Amino acid sequence: MIGLSSYAAVMESLTSCAEEQQPSSFMTNSWSKNQESSGSQRPKCVGGFVLVHAGAGYHSESKAKEYKHVCKRACQRAVDQLRAGALAVEAVTAALVELEDSPFTNAGMGSNLNLSGEIECDASIMDGKSLHFGAVGAIGGIKNPVLVANCLLNEAQKGKLSAGRIPPCFLVGRGAHDWAVSHGIPPCPSEKMATSECCFRNKRKMELAEGMDAGLKQTKKRRQSSENENGSGCLDTVGAVVVDLEGNVAAAVSSGGLAMKHPGRVGQAAHYGCGCWAENACNMNPYSTAVSTSGCGEHLIRTVLARECSAAMQSEDAHQALLEAMQNKFISDSKLLNPYSADSEILILCTFGSVFNLFICLFSVEFLWSHTTESMCVGYMSAQDSKAKTHISRLPPGTVPGQSLAIEGGVCRLKGVVD
């Protein structure tokens, strides 16, 4: 395990997204949260902000353009919703639908195949205002599982069912599929969701599994190197975090799960506090936070990483807080023991405001991303921007994935009004 002092060579870049829509630039710096909450007066930002990621893993140079393009489209979909006055939950759902529809991501269309050659997806969404949560696990035959998770969240907010029954917030398997169809979400045959890309990935994984009886480590190393070179390496859970025009936050994730997983396996993308977390500021928490995770589901479930990072972000120094949370709550956590490496990616959104007068304020959004995987592709955009910005973050040369950490991020300042 590595200590905090070993992070000297790790990237700690920051980007800024100013209200003048000037191009972002990376810099080695940090910032502080000097702004104080305006008490009972709640600032409303104009439009909002979205941050998305295309999944944990390795993002090959040969497909960098495609990864960035899908992140741009997801940002644009969310911002279109925000500009139309939609709240954070609807905007983050729109972003996830775009990510699920891409053949280059491991979510929805083109997801990894399980051992039976079928697609089973996980997804969840959380509303920071109401703290309601909706999730589906191991659901098949649904093109956009995040729509089912969002529908579960919305139905739960309507109150009890007949005979005083509590509405479900988490459904799995065939029950989740049937519930989705009964609530107007169209089914999609699994064979139509299996793209040529995911079938190729599955074939390579099957070949790897069959050839690992002898020379385990060398076989795996050679195959992973080959996958990286030809761009066929697997990605994991996609996700997004959003703050809307009222300052509400929301987070969502969607995943096709691990390649060759056992049928019925449910990853962190569907688990409460593991895949995503969103919580508006309140008396106990001075800052609103939204979190989305990606990586090995079993690791993220054991560490409840999304909720842990959200709690850690109630700190004056968000950058340092995330560094320590990733180190202490994930990489060095006693629940994650060798021979497994701690592979994850995480998005953080933190909001805070400062009232300048009775009507106008500056609403600041602090956003961070961190990963222990080889790379991470992100996109971000405010409703004041003309187009989304994208970036593929990579671990520094010579570092070990799973034992090294990269952290980057920035600040976006949004003009707002006070009711």
| Among candidate residues 342, 339, 348, the one with its CA nearest the CA of residue 307 | 348
Measured CA to CA, the distance from residue 166 to residue 229 in angstroms comes to: 50
Please give the C-alpha separations between residue 390 and each of 4, 64, 144, 155, 357, in angstroms, as whole numbers: 28, 10, 24, 34, 34
Hey, which residues are catalytic here?
Answer: 237
| Among candidate residues 310, 318, 321, the one with its CA nearest the CA of residue 411 | 318
Kindly list the domain boundaries of the chain, sorted by start residue: 4-110+122-131+235-418
Query: For every one of its 419 residues, what pLDDT tens digit does the chain have, with 9 covering 90 and above?
Result: 222 223 323 333 334 443 333 333 322 222 233 333 334 454 455 579 999 999 888 888 888 999 999 999 999 999 999 999 999 999 999 999 999 999 889 999 989 999 998 999 999 999 999 999 999 999 999 999 999 999 999 999 999 999 999 999 999 999 999 999 999 999 998 888 988 777 777 777 777 767 764 455 554 444 444 444 444 456 789 999 999 988 899 999 999 998 889 999 999 999 999 999 999 998 888 899 999 999 888 989 999 999 999 999 988 888 899 999 888 888 876 666 554 455 667 877 776 543 333 344 557 889 999 999 899 999 999 999 999 999 999 998 888 888 888 999 999 988 665 55
Lookup: tokens for 324: 């320590």
Query: Which CATH number, 3.40.47.10, 3.60.20.30, 3.40.50.170, 3.40.50.300, labels domain 4-110+122-131+235-418?
Result: 3.60.20.30
* Cis, peptide link before residue 103, omega less than 30° from 0: no
Dihedral sign for Cα 23, 29, 30, 34, please. negative
